[in-house]
Structure 1
Amino acid sequence: MINDGKLAVVLGIEVSETLGCGQFRGTPMCDRATISRELDDLHRRGVRSLFPVHKFDNALGARTWTKAPPACW
């Protein structure tokens, strides 16, 4: 499709508590079985790109805040 000059779309997801894996007082609110089940469900729905951490830390990882220099356009 891309080689034909047509637009390709990749369905993705980026949320703060991906796969239901939030934390409560540092304790993950999910397990491996839940992660596997949720990944299978997202794949079945067509999701092919996943950003497991967004605005808040979760059981899958942590975000970072950096002070990047202003963009120079």
Structure 2
Amino acid sequence: ADPWHNNYQGAPSDSNVWEKDGNYNYRMLRGGGYLNYSKGCRSANRNWKTPRSKCKSVGFRVAVSHIFSI
């Protein structure tokens, strides 16, 4: 995960990890989970955690696109 940055100024536009000038004590989290209120579940929601922290509501989502043929 990307190191924490306070905002998106200077972020790479090519989807690479944003390593320059980041705070490596914290890692970037986006979106939310079942324990969040609806506004916390937006993909634009940003937060941070320490790299070794544990939390039931932090993880990753698997997305699959299914193509049907008839």
- TM-score normalized by the length of structure 2: 0.21
Larger fraction in helix: 1
Which has the larger Rg? 1
Q: Which has the higher contact order (CA 8 A, sep 6+)?
A: 1
- TM-score normalized by the length of structure 1: 0.21
Larger fraction in strand: 2
